[in-house]
Amino acid sequence: MTLPDILLPLWAGQILQLLTIGVLAIITFMVVRSAIRLAVARLLVAGPVEDRDDTLSARELERRVRTLERLTLRIAAIIILLIAVLMALSTININIAPAIAGLGVAGIAVGLGAQALIRDWLAGIFVVLENQYSQGDVVRIAGVEGVVEDFSLRRTVLRDLNGTVHSVPNGQIVVASNLTRVWARVNLDVEVGYDTDIDEATRLVDSIGAELQADPDWGPRLIEPPAVVRINELGSNGVTLKVLGQVRAAEQWAVAGELRKRILAAFAKNGIEIPFPHRVMISRSAGSEVGPEPAATDGDA
């Protein structure tokens, strides 16, 4: 029996094992892909209830979840491929212990060097899964407030009221405050003088809120008309009335500005004073000051 006759069964066995490893890797990837797609479908169906009627938010959520799906599939494919390659090397009698050790050292080095990047990705994944905010929302994150212009798993881009663009790494987001989620609230403090008829001032503010709701331009922006809910404070200058109203998302600033404008005009028309601090200034002329008389000397006697 010749040497090729002896080695042929060994080669055939190794080739069969390599084919088996390849088939198992492909089957494993297909199963993982199906599981990921099923999980993504459940996430899209079980999104936040308040966002289901918002087409823009639904599309944004779907875009983010699809991005997360692609990222997860890539990571799963790399892991499966790496395991398959190591098993194939072991099948053809190549010592994989140094390779595993090297991968471990490289993984530790990469992990230490990319801690911030991994933290950003993990935070971005939770922002996507929980749908904390979407593109176009006004949010306050990491001490910065502005409109969300762009979002990825690594960072969130905001543009503030001055037009400045802020790029915030997702790992720095501890608290995310969404100012435009579904609805918002007008929250005003209106101060009047102590000599004001509070009932009359309350009736006037409530009527202004009713007029806003009846206005064809402003009514669609309101959910509940602004109205006085209580006396909020007895201050040093006057009485503060708390005015609250419920409006649609992102309309609170415009409605509050229009409400202030109408309250100012109505108070001026009805003789209601909005108090302000008074400052008293005393002016003294130089001639009015009387100084001490000079002391007498011997020459003057």
pLDDT given at position 16: 80
Contact 228, 283 (CB under 8 A): no
Q: What is the pLDDT of residues 262-301, one digit of tens each?
A: 999 999 999 888 887 766 677 676 555 545 555 544 444 3
- What mean pLDDT, rounded, does the chain reach? 80
Helix, strand or coil for residue 177?
strand
pLDDT given at position 52: 41
Residue type, 177: S
- Which stretches of the chain drop beneath a pLDDT of 70? 1-12, 43-64, 67, 96, 99-114, 278-280, 283, 285-301
Give first-to-last CA distance, the chain, whole Å.
153
Q: CA-CA distance, 56 to 63, in Å (whole number)?
A: 11
pLDDT given at position 76: 85
Render the burial of 139-166: b for 16+ CB within 10 Å, e for the rest.
bebbebebbbeebebbbbbbeeeeeeeb
Q: Between helices 3-45 and 55-91, what is the axis angle to 10°?
A: 160
Instruction: Provide CB contacts within 8 A for 194, sequence distance 6+.
Output: 238, 239
pLDDT given at position 102: 66
pLDDT given at position 107: 66
Q: Tokens 């579904």 belong to which residue?
A: 182
pTM of the full structure: 0.64
